Amino acid sequence: MPKPPIAKIIPHTLEKHGHVRTDNYYWLNQRENPEVIDYLNQENAYYQQSTAHTKDFQKDLFEEMKARIKEDDESVPYFYNGYYYITRFEKGKDYPIYSRKKGSLEAKEEILFDCNEMAKGHTYFNLSGLSVSEDNTMAAFGIDTVSRRQYTIQIKNLVSGEILAVKLENTTGGSTWASDNKTLFYSRKDEVTLRADKIYKHKIGTAADKDTLVYFEKDETFDVSVYKSKSKKYLIINSSSTLTTEYQTVLSATPDAKFKVFQKRTRGLEYSMSHFGDHFYIVTNKDKATNFKLMKTPEGSTSKENWVDVIAHREDVLLEDIDIFKDYLVVSERFNGLNHIRIMPWSGKGEYYLPFDSETYMAYTTTNLDFDTEILRYGYQSLATPASVIDFNMKTKEKTVLKEQEVLGGKFDKNNYKEERIWATAKDGTKVPISMVYRKENTKKGKNPLLLYAYGSYGVTMDCHFSSVRLSLLDRGFIYAIAHIRGGEDLGREWYENGKLLKKKNTFTDFIDCSQFVIDEKYTSTEHLYAEGGSAGGLLMGAIINMAPNLYNGVVAQVPFVDVVTTMLDETIPLTTGEYDEWGNPNIKKYYNYMLSYSPYDNVVSQAYPNLYISTGLHDSQVQYWEPAKWVAKLRVLKTNNNQLYLDTNMDAGHGGASGRFEAIKEIAKEYSFLLDLEGIKK
């Protein structure tokens, strides 16, 4: 076996609240330092050499996963403003082609963007924020070729096919057109922190440096965005932080008028709004509505004292979103951890829920841009059921499956798999749901390899989605499970509140208790249990291997957020100030002490650790590459066993990994080969 690289130790002293920390690897944050790049390359070389015996298997896994995917695939067309819009892929190509057809699906295809052509010469490419003017003649779009989520917005004349010379730099990629078809609003980022803090207005035919600053968000804990209401009547600026929101509106027909605050920000007041008729409909936590409720207010009186209840707050039901139609209100809800779609006629008569039988599914409304229709488009999938797109007639209750994801190869049959939802008991008595899927011939004999996945932050719910690539694990005997731990919003808003700030450790202990539960119930054993998480889920991975390293044979940590205290004290790093409501502000001593008690990097000790595969991207703007790099360097010195420890840095990508659809599968093949190799499975 090759010898692992040992990073140079250069002690760096960090002091806060009278407490001193010594960071031996602080120097790794120098992105332009050749020694840093050399160290990352050494780690990559060590990973490549150490796993050389799995290279053919990785290639086989990749080909196997790719073979299940319909390469010449296309989305279900959606109709908007006179055109059907389609996203499609061609065989052998990595990137999408965006097109449209006027009036009918039989009409001639008009290609808007062929990303395969646009991506040539770039190791990373992403097109985002496609926005078409109301007269259908102009399309704004954002391009990122570095993977730091700094997009350049350009404009294409859809009549002539010309891409205009103007480039709007350092944006989020998103933009929206005013009704005059010549005024474009977009959000721009701070050059250093990458916080979206400014809304600009661009006029067709003018230079970018002539763009007007419409709004500057001074509060460093807020981000801003701009969009148009579904009714097309209003342009809307959204300012949001973790706990507070504020909106401003202006008539889309008068884009040079001054935006008016809808309801001024109040610490802890969250709301979102939709326009319909002469009212705005508001999903909000006003009046201590922890799980949110629906209210409405007249167009001319939008401050909160005018809001009245439409759907009252419920202790056991999380109100997630609404879709408004001419004759129906559609409400997306969640109770007992499961999605529900509620159909409510405006007439007040005959409301009902769409029926779903499984306990390991996800159902969600999709692209519903038309007001005057009885058709609701929604999606459905489960851990063993491929994703479907469905048109549902809300009046007749007829259902039309427009598309079900194809799994090619002729070997997949969803009836060969069993789905379960079980409940683990956390150390404080809380019941935590676990969703799982496995082949029916697997029995609870205590020796099944089991991969337990979780995220557990920001109130993000981990729904039970189908994955054709995951079949490569299931068909080799793995159980795949999702732990719906606190810190997510799976069981309502309180589930999130009890896994953040000074209750963050619930997230970690929930995962450990779920791990112990699947062992106790004989689904697996410590020799065959694996854990996986990315980003904030990578923080989870770092915490659990410090707290309970003996439970796991192997852990996959993708772009892990592991240097919590140092990062949250550095206000120049992207996302930091906006994260205070999630993790706490370490400039305040009680938060500093609490974060320090679980920060994975700060809590690495001399002990045996599981086998570890850790991935990152050099250009990551969300979790800087040096966090996992420092973590691995420290683990190399302190861990007391010979278990595998790999740092795999994508030198061309950022937080989302590789951009091409097949390049992304190669990254999954690396992770799966790591797990399968630990199980002694070679093919």
Return the active site residues. 535, 620, 655
Residue 654, beta-bridge partner list: 657
Q: Treating both helix axes as pointing N-terminal to C-terminal, what angle do 589-598 and 505-520 enclose, rounded to 10 degrees? A: 30
Long-range contacts, 289-293 (Cβ 8 Å, 24+): 289/313, 290/315, 290/492, 290/493, 290/494, 290/497, 291/315, 291/316, 291/317, 291/318, 291/319, 291/492, 291/493, 291/494, 292/318, 292/319, 292/320, 292/493, 293/319
Contact 61, 671 (CB under 8 A): no
Contact 82, 409 (CB under 8 A): no
- Distance CA(296)–CA(298), nearest Å, equals 7
Contact 665, 65 (CB under 8 A): yes
Contact 398, 391 (CB under 8 A): no
DSSP conformation class of 108: P
Of 454, 435, 440, nearest to 383 by C-alpha is 435
Please, how many CA atoms are within 13 Å of residue 199, restricted to the half-sphere of its CB?
25
Extract the tokens encoding 190: 């701070």
- Distance CA(229)–CA(168), nearest Å, equals 23
AA identity, residue 523: Y
Contact 401, 364 (CB under 8 A): no
Residue where the block lists tokens 């480039």: 167
Extract the tokens encoding 91: 């065989």
